[in-house]
Structure 1
Amino acid sequence: MEGEMAMKRRERIYVFVMATTFLGVMAPLLVGCAARGAMLNQQATAALESTETKNPAEYRIHPGDQMDIKFFFNPELNETVLVRPDGKISLQLIDDVQAAGLTATQLDEELTRRYAQELRKPAVTVIVRTFTGRQVYVGGEVGNPGLINLGLGMTALQAVINAGGFKDTARPGAVIVIRKGPDNRPIPVRVDLDQALDTESAEGDFPLQPQDIVYVPRTWIAQANLFVKQYIQDLILYRGISLGFGYQINPDTRR
């Protein structure tokens, strides 16, 4: 009996140490990360601005896009095609053509070059009808996380609203937008949507581009609650430990 009581005392001490260690270690880390985060955020924003300048927003074809291929002098070859998952399209008279990753103009030029071997006047026009690549992903503490269609001029706040809005556990002031930068490197930027919510202007909001990722984190309170649930409450339920709160949960009698 005394051995069992001693074991439970050791377990109570272990749980207490785990909880205090979590709170004691995370607080100074968060303070330090805030200063570093501000500097990194400035660098990331500058990198994104540089990316936008170097890469105009001309749409690039994606798998799943639907396109009309029209031949001015050979209308019998006109087709409506769907870009396959491997990024290629199948057309008459020529082999498969890689379309994904190209702009409509670039694909037009490639088809003109390929059909020059088959037609006397290969005047080709490419018209993209559906744009599966114009989507963004919204995840984290929102009502309906997932892909949404990117409307003209859509911002991070508008994307969150389209994804069902913020949950009660959301932290709007620390939203992260991730975008592909140079060499396809992901560039994260912290966006304070609390500021956008508190003002009638777009100040604090962030304009999105195709394939951006918008992540809404939990509040620190929600994270702490999750920690308590996963590492303390579950341990209590599993071990049957009493923490002196006036009750004891015994795993052998739970239903």
Structure 2
Amino acid sequence: MNKLVFIFFTTLILTLSLSSYSQTLNPGDGIRVSFLDIEDVITGDYYIQPNGLINLPLIGVINTVNRDFKDIKSEIVARYDSLYKDPHLSVNALFRINILGEVENPGFYYVSDYEKFTAILAFAGGTTDAADLSDIKLIRNFQEIVIDVDEVISKGSTAMDFGLQSGDQVFVPRNWWSDNSVWVSITISAIALITTTYAILFMNN
């Protein structure tokens, strides 16, 4: 009985974890359509309207409301397949996220689901010298998710791999040394002065 309960809760947790990585698009997000073997005006970035609809060349309007991106992508590919014979078509989500903290140009950026983490930070001009790269956080719905930057970079993880979603905030904190280096230097200088003074007085005695 206990084993069955354990299996049930393990399966439930796994299911919930996987569902948290579903990709949904919101108004203001976009879709990047690229034809790799056809020179056409279709290739480009298209953005979702406030009503959740997106208008794509030749295939018309697609409803994105309450739909996973995989489902939206399948519909786009199917519609273009009906117009072109075996097109080499690339369809990617463009999430609007906010990059904050110790980056050169904080603000909102559009990030595709295949972008690597280093490229995402590069959109904001890269990190400053005061950045604490060991404590970068992903903020979603007022909850903080610590990103293991070393692991993400070493694996070459993409936005899809580490579950980036529309509306997320990437926060790069300031390192401790940048805020306290002056006081540390003053303290060290004071200790050195006291030590030197004491040594001189002791030697004179």
Q: Which has the higher strand share?
A: 2
The TM-score with structure 1 as length reference comes to 0.38
The TM-score with structure 2 as length reference comes to 0.45
Greater Rg, structure 1 or structure 2? 1
- Structure with more relative contact order (C-alpha pairs < 8 Å, separation 6 or more): 2
Q: Which has the higher helix share?
A: 1
